[in-house]
Amino acid sequence: MLTKAKTLIGLVNLAGPLSAAITVVLFWNDKPDTLEVVFISVVLIGGVLSAVHHAEVIAAYVGRAIGALILALAVTVIEVGLIVAIMLSSDGAASTLGRDTVFAAIMITCNGIVGFSIVIASLKNTTLSFNSEGSGAALSAITTIATLSLVLPVFTRGSAGPTFTFPQLVFVSFASLVVYGLFLYVLTVRNREHFEDPDAVVTMPYAKSPSKRDFHRSITLLLIALVAIIGMAKVISPSIEGVVVGAGLPIFVIAVVVALVVLAPESLAAMRAASRGDLQTGFNLAYGSALASIGLTIPTLAIVSSIIDINLILGLSATELVLFVLTCVVSVVTVSSHRVTFFQGGLHLVIFFSFLFLAFAP
């Protein structure tokens, strides 16, 4: 019975990415109706579940910290590609789409993923441990890049509005790449131990390390699943846009919905890890995703804006600045200690749902 169950699960994990890819091909040039949107959404959920499984196989083979990095990088590269594609085909939202998506990613990762991970993990243990050295380093890198790229444009005087001059944009893009490069060096070479929690008692989903064949297969299927997830997000985004505009909601809601879909694999992977008592992986996924999103997106937007001549608006609004500062303050308190409780998770979720509420009702 157990062997049959494992075989069935294996077939589902194989079929998930492939069926998602086929669905994208079938609906790529069509505008789906209501029933087709429901069908695509169901396939999308299957693709997300499969992506999480293959990410866990990769993490079991290469280590949890590097596995989280691989998932964050894969999702972020595809996210950047989606942003660029929409910018190239859009006029009205092109100048603010990058900023809105990056800010949404920060709120989702630093408050949503972190908050849910802490709350879920606290259901088994009242006090939770993690490695504050690695999480603190990641948070400081996020704060540095986000402040330079999203806050500083509000106060610069070289150009009108919350924008950069071209030399300023080049400098901030270079600084973002430098900070992200330093983080990767610390994570993968210099201080890998800072992103593992030696005190945590973790129940891993695999009793033994996957084989090299399983690793290569999961890498391939993870990439297929991620591309298909982003493709399906792009296919159903016009329908979402129609609903948003028809309901009189802000266009910013579209960026939030896209960010939620794009970050779904990482969110689910973090929550599943937290349910096993592995809070550190949740933190690695959250902060790694936020850092990868900013560090890769800002330089890419700088290149695209110079090619297609878009007045790139990066500066946050007053409401977004308040949420960003609040997130930074609460996050510093969270990572300043080696241990957290349900209370810290609840604070992050309050900020996360405040962000969602204000996105719909600014």
Check: CB of residue 76 under 8 Å from CB of residue 49.
no
Check: CB of residue 141 under 8 Å from CB of residue 335.
no
pLDDT at 171: 92
For residue range 169-228, what is the model confidence (pLDDT) as tens digits?
A: 889 989 988 988 888 887 777 766 666 655 555 555 554 577 788 888 888 888 888 788
Distance of CA 40 to the CA centre of its chain: 21
Could you give the angle at which helices 94-107 and 318-335 cross, rounded to 10 degrees? 30
pLDDT at 207: 47
Check: CB of residue 335 under 8 Å from CB of residue 135.
yes
End-to-end CA distance of the chain: 54
Residues 6+ apart with CB under 8 A from 243: none
β-pair partners for 129: 339
Residue type, 107: M
Q: What is the mean pLDDT of each run of 10 residues along the chain (362 residues)?
A: 48 75 81 78 78 75 70 68 64 70 89 89 74 80 91 86 85 89 79 60 56 82 81 72 70 78 77 80 82 81 78 86 93 83 88 92 80
What's the rounded Cα separation, in Å, for the pair 22 and 7? Answer: 22
pLDDT at 344: 86
pLDDT at 2: 39
Q: What angle do CA 212, 184, 220 make, to 5 degrees?
A: 30
Query: What tokens does 278 get?
Result: 């592995």
**Domains in the chain with CATH codes:** 32-360 (1.20.1420.30)
Query: What tokens does 25 get?
Result: 């091909």
What's the rounded Cα separation, in Å, for the pair 349 and 362? Answer: 19
pTM above 0.75, yes or no: yes
pLDDT at 208: 55
Residue type, 126: T
- DSSP E strand boundaries for 168-294: none
CB-based burial label for 211 (10 Å; 0-12, 13-18, 19+): exposed
pLDDT at 124: 75
Q: Characterize 72-99 residue by residue with b for buried, 16 or more Cβ atoms within 10 angstroms of its Cβ, and e for exposed.
A: bebbbbbbbebbbebbeeeeebbbbbbb
Query: What tokens does 340 get?
Result: 């957290």
- DSSP E strand boundaries for 106-222: 128-129
What's the rounded Cα separation, in Å, for the pair 284 and 306? Answer: 33
Residues 6+ apart with CB under 8 A from 233: 44, 82, 258, 261, 262
What's the rounded Cα separation, in Å, for the pair 360 and 354? Answer: 10
Check: CB of residue 72 under 8 Å from CB of residue 288.
yes
Closest of 141, 155, 151, 166 to residue 295, by C-alpha = 141
